[in-house]
Amino acid sequence: MKAGFRAAARAFRQFSTTQSNGTRGRPMASFAMSASRIAGTATAASAAVGVTLGAKGTISCKPQSRKTSSTASTPTLQPFHLAVPVHDLGKAKAFYGDIMQLTEGRSSASWQDYSLFGHQFVCHCVGKEYRAKDYFNPVDSDNVPVPHFGVCLSVDEFHALAGRLQAAGISFIIEPHLRFEGQAGEQYTMFFKDPSGNSLEFKAMTNPDNLFAKAGTY
């Protein structure tokens, strides 16, 4: 870019000299050839700094937006990691692997690793006596078990999972239904337990953009 500007300056000085001497012809042709050679470089240089060269020598400037890659401009949600205690790995595998159809990853004699819709979920066997203890909190007229975990799904994924659970005869703490109807937080939800008593909730926002919306009465 700097080389293009230097070439333009030399050509302009030559042009100015020939005009002051009153000469024409070859010097003018030489200037035209030099200008032609640097035209591409000058155009690229002016574009890079946001300068527009007008037909009559006018110059206009405008700020240039900085280009970023799609990965830089669009943040990627990182997968979370969750580990829960279970009392029986065989029953955990039948529930999470067979019924919920989660893909099993690394496993050992004392734990199992699953992909929970792209998140890392691990079952750790802590003893035959373990059963999760429940606390409850009212949400939209339902007594919600606490603690609980799950994933925010699409509406289609939610209904597909609910269908698999119903077909397997899984008992629901809170049946699949629509809550906060008509509000920004409108969502499908369902609660159920794994064989060790751990409570799960899966939900689906009818408008995913409203996942963290505050508007409404709750």
**What pLDDT, in 10s, does the model give residues 55-85?**
554 445 444 444 444 344 556 889 999 999 9
Query: What is the arithmetic mean of pLDDT over 168-197?
Result: 97
Residue 25 has pLDDT above 60, yes or no: no
pLDDT at residue number 9: 52
Residue 178 has pLDDT above 90, yes or no: yes
Pick the CATH number of 81-210 from 3.90.320.10, 3.10.180.10, 3.40.50.920, 3.30.1490.20: 3.10.180.10
What percent of the chain shows pLDDT beyond 90? 61
207 vs 140: CA distance, rounded Å: 18
pLDDT at residue number 77: 85
Residue 6 has pLDDT above 70, yes or no: no
What DSSP string describes the chain? -HHHHHHHHHHHHHHHHHHHTT--SHHHHHHHHHHHHHHHHHHHHHHHHTEEE-TTS-EEE-PPPPP--HHHHSPPPPPPEEEEEES-HHHHIIIIIIIS-PEEEEE-SSEEEEEETTEEEEEEE--TT--PPPEEEEETTEEEEES-B--B--HHHHHHHHHHHHHTTPPEEEEEEEESTTSTT-EEEEEEE-TT--EEEEEEESSGGGTT---S--
pLDDT at residue number 42: 44
Task: Taking the CA atoms of 7, 10, 16 and 17 in sequence, report the sign of the dihedral they define.
Answer: negative
Question: Whose structure tokens read 């700020």?
Answer: 63
- In tens, the pLDDT along 125-155 reads 999 999 999 999 999 999 999 999 999 999 9
Domain ranges of the chain: 2-61, 81-210
pLDDT at residue number 104: 97
Query: Of 2-16, 44-58, 91-105, 171-185, where does mean pLDDT reach its minimum?
Result: 44-58
CB burial of residue 176 (10 Å; 0-12, 13-18, 19+): buried
Query: What is the arithmetic mean of pLDDT over 154-166?
Result: 97
Kindly state the tokens that stand for 58: 């006018």
- In tens, the pLDDT along 39-56 reads 454 444 444 444 444 555
Amino acid (1-letter code) at residue 177: H
Return phi, psi of residue 57, to 5°. 85, 5
Question: Does 28 or 168 have the greater pLDDT score?
Answer: 168
pLDDT at residue number 10: 61
Amino acid (1-letter code) at residue 49: V
Q: Name 49's Cβ contacts closer than 8 Å, sequence gap at least 6.
A: 61, 64
179 vs 195: CA distance, rounded Å: 26
Return phi, psi of residue 112, to 5°. -135, 140
Kindly state the tokens that stand for 22: 């009153």
